[in-house]
Amino acid sequence: MSRTEKKIEALAREIEQKTAVLSDLNQKAKEEKRRADTRRKIIYGAAFLAYTNDLPPEKAEKAFSGIHKHITNKKDRQFLEIGDLTISK
């Protein structure tokens, strides 16, 4: 094997290793972003629930009905016992 072929082979291995490292880092960044998004949702959800506990019942009901419009997944609506989503035009 010539020197040039050895250099090509070595560079190809290095590129393969760097590509694997890059792929791992991209996956880690994606997971960190997903965890941060989940944490943000939990914090905002808990804050909203605490906020509605301090509201008079009629205002709390109005706040929840505004939020319920944004819950579109059928299983989520069943879990929260908020009924089917009615779409008004």
What does the mean pLDDT of the chain come to? 94
- pLDDT of residue 87 exceeding 70, the answer is no
- pLDDT of residue 89 exceeding 70, the answer is no
- pLDDT of residue 67 exceeding 80, the answer is yes
Q: What predicted TM-score, i.e. pTM, was given to this entire model?
A: 0.68
d(CA 50, CA 2): 72
- Could you report the per-residue pLDDT of 5-56, keeping only the tens digit for each? 999 999 999 999 999 999 999 999 999 999 999 999 999 999 999 999 999 9
d(CA 12, CA 51): 58
How far is Cα of residue 58 from the mean position of the Cα atoms in its chain? 32
d(CA 12, CA 89): 60
